[in-house]
Structure 1
Amino acid sequence: MSSIVPGPQKKIGEEIDAARSGAKPLDASALNPSAPRQEQLTGLDDWPDSLRAAIEAEHARVAALDSNRRRTADKAVPELVHCLDALLDEIAARLQSDKPRLFGKSTPAADPSPEVAELLGIPSDELEAPGRGEHRTAQRTIKQLRAQLKDLETTPDHSRLTRLATFTIRLAVVLDAAPEAATLAPLALARFAEGVPDFQWEKTFPEKLAFWQEARTTLTTD
């Protein structure tokens, strides 16, 4: 009895579909069968699906780059773009839902937290509650970032992807763990749009992951 073995492209598609559904993390070795097996991430079981998927997609891309498999890294870009786009959707929705708290007359918003600002790389001397103008600018910046993602999916620039993924995942981690941090999101978005250097850009993926996990633990236990 003969059997039909799925071709390489079909297998890649199945792996990406499984990653998007949350059934299994995206493995860079699935994008390139000759690649070494990718180390599985741990400690993300109780994280939101969207965040976990984005971190796993970024891990797949970075693992390929670290082992000099540029073509495999390029193949990992569409899934990463999809995941980051989903996170930007959530960030935009959080900003929108936070408007009554920020600008409502009956319940004034609390001052931005210096501790949370530090997690986002915002200096304490720049802390200032955003006004409506800054809030609108933040929403426009999110649209611009989504447009950049589309460009990067077509023509991958891994340095830009690293910066964008690092920023988006960190902001999403903080907003998920501390929704009130939406007050700081316009400041964080403005700094990124202006190209202000970020302390996490040059960190290794394991260092970033440890930071994200520690930040989430700190914010959810306070």
Structure 2
Amino acid sequence: MSSIVPGPQKKLEQEMEAARAGEKALSAGDLSPTAPKHTALTGLEDWPDALRATVEADYERNTALDTGRRRTADKHVPDLVTGLLELLDQIDKHLQATKPGLLRKGSTAEAPSAVLAELLGLPTDAVEAPPGRSEHRDAARTIKSIRDQLKSIEIRLDPLAKPIPVDHAKLTRQVTFVVRLALILEQAPAAAALIPAALDHFAEGLPDPQWEESFAEKLEFWQETYEDLAD
């Protein structure tokens, strides 16, 4: 014996009729039966505010994208951009603090380890060549370029401006790079010496395995790295 399973709309009508008759209470889930269940992001309670807010905004954006809700994803972009700009400011401060010529004569800065280079997706020999003035200038220009690109997204989301679709793939690459670098700098300031190399790697568009990873995979890496570098 076969039976016909009512579609979502028909089922909703049946649920509403039952509710009107007092046979069943109508829940919010009944009103939107196809809406995905939302799970709050946890485990970031001890993270710095800017880093946590950025990751949370990206989580909301990716959750919406994964369920085909692009407009909802776009709504989370302003908070994400705000967080990324703040993280870029922090990265820039680290860069300026390691600018050649700032150290006193005879003093030396802590050299980054090969482990930090690997975490940043750089070859281990990146730690062997301290960046010079030209590398710092290039790094500063790249930070400005990323900042300008992010600010252009803010303009696009202006309700009075001509709507231009957000390039979420490009934004994902920017998030992946900025969050990883900011997180490692937060836990290991010695990684500041690798900022020019990391920015050059990003500016050149060199392959980064994390670009293709899911948000869940990147989140696991971020959390493990944050904890491991704290030890």
- TM-score bracket, shorter-length normalisation: 0.7 to 0.9
Out of 194, 200, 207, the position equivalent to 1:197 is 207
Out of 214, 217, 221, the position equivalent to 1:211 is 221
SS at match of 1:65: helix
1:31-66 Cα offsets, whole Å, 9 max, x none, are xxx853431111111000000000001101111000
Q: What TM-score comes out, normalization by structure 1 length?
A: 0.79
SS at match of 1:176: helix
The answer to which of 157-166 and 76-85 deviates more is: 76-85
The root-mean-square deviation of aligned C-alpha atoms, in Å, is 1.8
Residues 143-158 of structure 1: pairs in structure 2 closer than 5 A: 143-153=144-154, 154=156, 155=164, 156-158=166-168
1:109-136 Cα offsets, whole Å, 9 max, x none, are 3443110000000012343211121112
Q: Partner of 2:42 in structure 1?
A: 42
Q: Distance in 1 between matches of 2:105 and 2:223?
A: 36
Q: Distance in 1 between matches of 2:230 and 2:101?
A: 21
Greater C-alpha radius of gyration: 2
Q: Partner of 1:118 in structure 2?
A: 118
Q: Is contact 1:130–1:186 with CA below 8 Å preserved after alignment?
A: yes
The alignment covers a number of residue pairs equal to 188
Q: Partner of 1:29 in structure 2?
A: none
The answer to which of 47-56 and 131-140 deviates more is: 131-140
Deviation at 1:106, TM superposition (A): 2.4
Residues 97-176 of structure 1: pairs in structure 2 closer than 5 A: 97-99=97-99, 103-127=103-127, 128-153=129-154, 154=156, 155=164, 156-176=166-186
Runs of 4 or more, structure 1, over 4 Å off, are: 100-103
Q: Is contact 2:117–2:126 with CA below 8 Å preserved after alignment?
A: no
Identical counterparts, % of pairs: 55
Q: Is contact 1:112–1:184 with CA below 8 Å preserved after alignment?
A: yes
Q: Distance in 2 between matches of 1:186 and 1:41?
A: 32
Q: Is contact 2:88–2:143 with CA below 8 Å preserved after alignment?
A: yes
Q: Is contact 2:54–2:84 with CA below 8 Å preserved after alignment?
A: yes
SS at match of 1:218: helix
Deviation at 1:99, TM superposition (A): 3.1
Deviation at 1:95, TM superposition (A): 1.4
User: Structure 1: which 5+ runs fail to align?
Assistant: 1-33
Aligned partner letter, 2:176: T
User: Structure 2: which 5+ runs fail to align?
Assistant: 1-33, 157-163
- With over 3 angstroms needed to count, the CA separation of the structure-2 counterparts of 1:108 and 1:81, relative to structure 1, is same
1:90-117 Cα offsets, whole Å, 9 max, x none, are 1111212233797442212344311000
SS at match of 1:196: coil
- With over 3 angstroms needed to count, the CA separation of the structure-2 counterparts of 1:196 and 1:189, relative to structure 1, is same
Q: Is contact 2:114–2:125 with CA below 8 Å preserved after alignment?
A: no
